[in-house]
């Protein structure tokens, strides 16, 4: 498939031929869902924890004598039935990550790129090189192009001035080609890829 290439000033910079095996697939929601679920599970902290009966801080002295009180028999205030007692089978720190093979993750990235291309929310940019790190200049260019919630993917290295200029603009995120992932692509309204980024992604996913 062919797509127009534009510059930061909205001028045209020719056309580019995109690989249909990467940008021309029919997006499948089930594949995207599985990859996003894998990503979010992997990034989940899993630090939730509760104190068990052995861990709560309380006296170990027997509450009252075993017989003759007319009440139930109790030996410790740490028992779960008492206020401030230990929790039975509560959550403990653990990893939420699960396995998803490399080929399926790559397939998910292809479907995410194809989803943006098929919906018309894929933009190919000639370059993001900037001579000065001017936030106001980039914000004005983004407004002229209609970018509100946008992810910009460059090649192996990101232009330092562009990264510094974009850092203070809400709604603009920049990633190198190796950092491209399904969750970040789907979360933004518009996906912008530089020509260097397209080459790097096609080399990564071929």
In tens, the pLDDT along 19-69 reads: 999 999 999 999 999 999 999 999 999 999 999 999 999 888 899 999 999
The size of the chain, in residues, is 206
pLDDT value, residue 74? 92
pLDDT value, residue 9? 84
Cβ atoms of 186 and 112 closer than 8 Å: yes
pLDDT value, residue 131? 85
Q: What is the pTM of this model?
A: 0.82
Q: Which helix (H) or strand (E) holds 174?
A: strand 172-175
Residue 13, pLDDT > 90, answer no
pLDDT value, residue 8? 87
Q: In the predicted model, what is the mean pLDDT of the chain?
A: 93
Q: Which of 111, 84, 141, 125 is nearest to 24 (CA)?
A: 111
pLDDT tens digits for range 111-152: 999 999 999 999 999 988 888 888 999 999 999 998 999 999
In angstroms, rounded to a whole number, what is the distance separating the alpha carbons of residues 166 and 171? 9
Cβ atoms of 60 and 76 closer than 8 Å: yes
Pairing status of strand 150-153 against strand 12-17: unpaired
Neighbours of 196 (CB within 10 A): 21
Could you tell me the domains of the chain? Answer: 2-45+97-205 (3.40.1370.10), 50-90 (no CATH)
pLDDT tens digits for range 92-105: 999 999 999 999 99
Q: Token pair 């929310």 is at which residue?
A: 121
Residue 180, pLDDT > 90, answer yes
């Amino acid at each position: 498939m062919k797509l127009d290439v534009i510059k930061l000033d909205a001028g045209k910079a020719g056309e580019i031929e995109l690989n249909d095996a990467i940008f021309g697939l029919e997006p499948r929601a089930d594949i995207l869902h599985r990859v996003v679920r894998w990503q979010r599970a992997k990034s989940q902290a899993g630090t939730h924890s509760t104190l068990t009966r052995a861990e709560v801080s309380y006296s170990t002295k027997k509450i009252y004598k075993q017989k003759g009180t007319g009440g139930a028999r109790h030996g410790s205030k740490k028992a779960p039935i008492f206020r401030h007692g230990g929790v039975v089978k509560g959550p403990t720190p653990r990893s939420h990550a699960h396995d998803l093979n490399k080929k399926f993750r790559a397939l998910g990235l292809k479907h995410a790129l194809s989803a943006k291309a098929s919906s018309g929310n894929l933009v190919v940019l000639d370059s993001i090189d900037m001579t000065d790190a001017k936030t106001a200049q980039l914000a004005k260019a983004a407004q002229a192009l209609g970018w509100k919630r946008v992810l910009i993917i460059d090649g192996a290295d990101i232009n330092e001035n562009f990264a510094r200029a974009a850092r203070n603009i809400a709604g603009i995120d920049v990633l190198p080609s190796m950092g491209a992932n399904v969750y970040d692509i789907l979360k933004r309204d518009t996906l912008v890829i530089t020509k260097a980024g397209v080459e790097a992604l096609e080399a990564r996913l071929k």
